[in-house]
Chain A
């Protein structure tokens, strides 16, 4: 169980690393918003599941689950708010790699 937990934490950190790489690599604002928030969502979920497995305690695992639920409820609102304000402020999509 503990080994599976560490594997999940490692995988979650790898997802987050891809998100950070994207922030540095992509120049378009919208691409950055979409890519980083999503990959980080996957990263956080995977890391929290890993910690739940390692904790070995129901109370800690349930608290982490609660934390995850609150994050999943509020995270998208922040992302939507940022993207919405950018659009209203006049930011438009930049083509970075031709047709993709």
Chain B
């Protein structure tokens, strides 16, 4: 019963995706959604993850929603900044490495993805808590300063999600 409750959020999310894909909110589609979502989750747990979906992808839904809005804003803010640099030929590209305070592997992956999505930076490598990033506006080589500037508000938001969900259970594997 607890496992069903743990995965209720994912079943609901996948059911919404099912309704969107079918472009119909008829009773049959709405009721078949949770069944198909549960079957999909079951086979994902058994065959792909070899574990529990819920424990692999732990994130607070409201933090995730807020995070998406922040990400969209950052994409545009950094995008205009990067375009100005490109057009005026003032690019100073370099590879910088820094550590994140996040410990959960899923949250670190989200952070790395967000850095890549933000114009002007691409995550090149992720090794445990260490990230290597190509930076188009590399005005410092100091890892702490570069990290703070590149990660921006992403890290703080993800820390909020991480501290509530997994204060003692770190899935991060150093040297992964």
Q: Interface residues, chain A, CB within 8 Å of chain B?
A: 15, 18, 22, 26, 28, 30-31, 33-35, 37-39, 41-42, 45, 59, 62-63, 66, 72-73, 75-77, 79-80, 83-84, 87, 93, 96-97, 99-100
Partner of B125, one of A66, A77, A87: A87
A34 lies within 8 A of B136 (CB): yes
A96 to chain B, nearest CB (A): 8
B91 lies within 8 A of A84 (CB): no
Interface string of B154-166 (1 = CB under 8 A from A): 0000000000000
Interface residues of B in 56-109 (CB under 8 A from A): 72, 75-76, 78-79, 82-83, 86-87, 89-95
Expressed in whole angstroms, the Cα–Cα distance for A33 and B95 within the complex equals: 13
Q: How many interface residues does chain B have, given as a range?
A: 20 to 34
Given A28-B93, A42-B75, A59-B23, are A33 and B17 neighbors across the interface (CB < 8 Å)?
A: no
User: Which of chain A's residues have a CB closer than 8 A to the CB of B23?
Assistant: 59, 63
Number of A-B contacts (CB under 8 A): 101
Expressed in whole angstroms, the Cα–Cα distance for A38 and B91 within the complex equals: 14
Q: Interface residues, chain B, CB within 8 Å of chain A?
A: 17, 20-21, 23, 72, 75-76, 78-79, 82-83, 86-87, 89-95, 112-113, 116-125, 134, 136
Which of B79, B86, B90, B118 has most chain A Cβ within 10 Å?
B86
In the complex, 15 of the A-B residue pairs with CB atoms within 8 angstroms, ordered by the A residue number, are A18-B86, A22-B86, A26-B91, A30-B134, A35-B91, A37-B116, A38-B78, A38-B82, A39-B83, A39-B86, A41-B79, A62-B20, A79-B116, A83-B122, A97-B91
